[in-house]
Amino acid sequence: MDTSLETLETHRCFGGLQGTFRHASAACGGPMEFAVYVPPGAGEHDRRPVLWFLSGLTCTPENFTIKAGAQRVAAELGLILVMPDTSPRGAGVPGEDDAWDLGTGAGFYVDATAPPWSARYQMFSYVTAELPALVHARFPTRGAGHEAISGHSMGGHGALVAALRHPERYRSASAIAPIVAPSQVPWGRKAFTAYLGPDERRWAAYDATALVAHQTHPAPILVDQGGADPFIAEQLQPERFEAACAASGQALSLRVHPGYDHSFFFVATVIADHLRHHAAHLGLAVSAPG
């Protein structure tokens, strides 16, 4: 595996180091960027667990890194944060820049099987296999299995799917305003038709509500949802996942927050709870919020 990295920028942040990096991705067939926060004290002799955070439609690694305010709590807990990109960029796939909800910035964390997307849009393999191998090789992590995963919106969908399909890798999962049943809502149906083809039987592997019916996660899943989110009724439909979890016995904490929307203001409001949730499952000491 090629573990070479190009450092694009680094910044001291709450005693740790926030960086953005670029590497050549075999899965996605070209350059990919990602961001990493390494908390203070982490190093070769003090390795730390990882929280992966997957962002939503139109986002780059910069959105969560700058807007969520997660580094302060990650520094207190001793968590490494990794923020992948949401799709290949400049891949040259016809139509990839024609719409904001398909193509660039909208990879939906699937391994595309339908042309022309299948040549480059292999985001599930990228975020669950290729990028983790690179991060564990180049940063002071505790290695595979000492990981948790979270995400927002499209990224919440990706996080839930990754955790349900790989419970041995991710010790815990959470999501903020996730697309929980993409096979049943317009955003997901558009993306899945393009990336996976019209056979809806193939879609279930990337649908958290379908997956949890037969594959649960050993840890309770935390989901936060804004009650005033304009996408809740048409695109998010958290009640579908709640019902599926209840039927399968999956422990779920679904918290609906009146008045909150879909923006990063909501993400910033609840992110500390998510980091503490994951830190506890990763074996870190967690104190009550100050």
Bin 162: left if φ > 0, else alpha if -120 < ψ < 50, else beta. Answer: alpha
Annotated catalytic residue within 87, 150, 153, 183: 153
Tell me, yes or no, if 153 is annotated catalytic. Answer: yes
Contact 160, 213 (CB under 8 A): no
Annotated catalytic residue within 25, 229, 274, 277: 229
Annotated catalytic residue within 23, 136, 217, 262: 262
Tell me, yes or no, if 229 is annotated catalytic. Answer: yes
Active-site residue numbers? 153, 229, 262
